[in-house]
């Protein structure tokens, strides 16, 4: 079966993603990171996976509404039941082409069965 080691997602930052200061809410960025890592973890292991651990997240630059947001996730390491990935978030102003690094972190998912018990990741 296909085993991708990386995944990319791109979409426009929506007016509904805004925080009280007019840029994208940090909680939305964390949700996108979780979604990108989930997609890669499941695509890579072909098993359901849940978030186990997120390493320190730093918000480097704000994302503006209307920016094209790019998430990139790649596999760093596979354990017996876990998969560690690195996720980066960049935003692109479509008028000026200016691209900013917004956020990066490592994130660990664990493969689980239908009862939510961890299960081995097979090669």
Ligand X SMILES: CC(C)(COP(=O)(O)OP(=O)(O)OC[C@H]1O[C@@H](n2cnc3c(N)ncnc32)[C@H](O)[C@@H]1OP(=O)(O)O)[C@@H](O)C(=O)NCCC(=O)NCCS
Q: Which residues bind ligand X (CB under 6 A)?
A: 50-53, 79-82, 108, 110, 112, 116, 118
Residues 6+ apart with CB under 8 A from 97: none
Tokens for 46?
């072909």
CB of 109 to ligand X, least distance (A): 8
Q: How far apart are CA 39 and CA 27, in angstroms?
A: 18
Which of 34, 45, 31, 36 is CA-nearest to residue 3? 45
- Cβ-proximal residue to ligand X, closest one: 79
CB of 73 to ligand X, least distance (A): 16
- Cβ distance to ligand X smaller for residue 51 or 64: 51
- Cβ distance to ligand X smaller for residue 3 or 99: 3
- Cβ distance to ligand X smaller for residue 63 or 108: 108
Q: CB burial class (10 A; 0-12, 13-18, 19+) of residue 80? A: exposed
CB of 101 to ligand X, least distance (A): 24
- Cβ distance to ligand X smaller for residue 11 or 53: 53
Q: What is the sign of the dihedral through the CA atoms of 51, 64, 90 and 55?
A: negative
CB of 92 to ligand X, least distance (A): 29
């Amino acid at each position: 079966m296909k085993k991708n080691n990386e995944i990319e997602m791109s979409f426009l930052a929506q007016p509904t993603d805004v925080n009280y200061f007019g840029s994208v809410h940090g909680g939305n960025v964390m949700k996108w990171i979780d979604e990108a890592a989930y997609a890669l973890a499941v695509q890579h292991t072909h098993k359901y996976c849940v978030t186990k651990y997120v390493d320190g997240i730093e918000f480097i630059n704000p994302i503006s509404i209307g920016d094209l947001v790019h998430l990139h996730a790649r596999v760093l390491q596979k354990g017996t039941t876990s998969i560690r990935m690195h996720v980066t978030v960049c935003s692109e102003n479509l008028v000026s082409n200016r691209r900013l690094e917004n956020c990066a972190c490592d994130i660990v998912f664990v493969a689980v069965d239908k009862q939510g018990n961890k299960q081995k990741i097979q090669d």
